Amino acid sequence: MNAEAPGVPTEAPTCYRHPGRETYVRCTRCDRYICPDCMRDAAVGHQCVECVREGHRDVRQPRTIFGGQVSATPVVTYTLIALNVLAYVAEVTSSRIVNEYAMLGVATDPFGIVHPGGVADGEWYRLITSAFLHSPPEASFGLAHIVFNMWALWAIGPQLEQVLGRWRFTSLYLLSALGGSVLLYLVDPAGAAVGASGAIFGLFGAFFVVAKRLRAPAGGIVFLLALNLVITFTVDGISWEGHVGGLIVGAALATGYAFLPPGRGDERRRTLLHAGATAGMLVLLAALVAIKTSQLAGITVI
């Protein structure tokens, strides 16, 4: 057994992160010496920065009923609004933006003759870029087009983003927009369209599904949806395909998010099921576009 020699001073302990600093305070979790710069207040005593960091990893992050992380700021909603506004400024500045990025299945002239261009000619990006463009000020709907869509996104987007979580909400929005473009491509490939309406109708459908899942009042969204459907089918110049396509995709995807798994499952299983539903919808829409493109491949192009 070792013993300290009488009269020899004992070396003072130092901080494990700062060896040159003397201290007599220990971390209550790992028992290592820590200096004032490394101390973090704990329920009892102090802990070192590493133990505090490790403790935070063990704390389970709060989740919504659909598996999304709880967030007070609707970052995705605000980002989407900003992107739509920036795209509108760009198209007002240059008329080429609409011509090059609007939804167009096949390009035709006034005589119905098909020309190179459109989704069928490999411009697949039009399926999604068109959802960030709107009618220019001189068009029939003018500013009302983007104003209504952005108002709707601002009104119901934050609520959906809060309950679904960011990645589910982003997927829902983009796939609803894609669904509207795909239905237009299937039904009227020569038709042209712009607008976030397909995505907005997808949010309408998702809001209804989420409300039913949470047993919350859904009368308001039903009235808003019915009113917009009446306008869709009675006002000339509106692409009903874009609206209906977005509505179908949004409602279907939200059903997957809201009811999968059917019972209380672990977080990993739920995330995998929701990711699978998202990927499945994307694959389905891509397959429909590929099939339609193959059907249009026989059209003579001059």
CA 229, 235, 239: angle at the middle one, nearest 5? 70
Asked if 70 and 62 count as a contact pair (C-beta separation under 8 A), the reply is yes
* Helix-then-strand count for the chain, H and E: 10, 6
Q: Can you read off the two tokens belonging to residue 42? A: 């704990």
197 flagged as catalytic: yes
Q: What is the pLDDT along the chain (302 residues), one digit of tens a residue?
A: 444 455 545 678 899 999 888 888 888 888 889 999 998 887 667 888 888 887 766 555 667 777 777 777 899 999 999 999 999 999 999 989 999 999 999 987 766 667 778 999 999 999 999 999 999 888 777 789 999 999 999 999 999 999 999 999 999 999 999 999 999 999 999 999 999 999 999 999 999 999 999 888 889 999 999 999 999 999 988 999 999 999 999 999 999 999 988 766 678 888 999 999 999 999 999 999 999 999 988 654 44
CA distance 302 to 296: 14
Q: Which amino acid is at 220?
A: G
Considering 134, 197, 239, 274, which one is annotated as catalytic? 197
With 0-12 / 13-18 / 19 or more C-beta atoms within 10 angstroms meaning exposed / middle / buried, residue 95 is: exposed
Q: Across the chain, where does the E strand assignment appear? A: 40-41, 46-47, 103-104, 107-108, 114-115, 192-193
Give the chain's radius of gyration (CA, Å).
28
Q: What is the C-alpha separation between 32 and 135, in angstroms, rounded?
A: 66
Q: What is the rounded CA–CA span in Å between residue 210 and residue 64? A: 12
* Domain ranges across the chain: 11-55, 75-296
Would you tell me which CATH number, out of the four given (1.20.1540.10, 3.40.190.10, 1.10.3720.10, 3.30.450.70), belongs to the domain 75-296?
A: 1.20.1540.10
Residue spans of alpha helices (H) in 235-266? 240-259
Set 46, 134, 145, 243: catalytic member: 243
Q: Model's pTM, two decimal places? A: 0.79
Query: Is 274 considered catalytic here?
Result: no
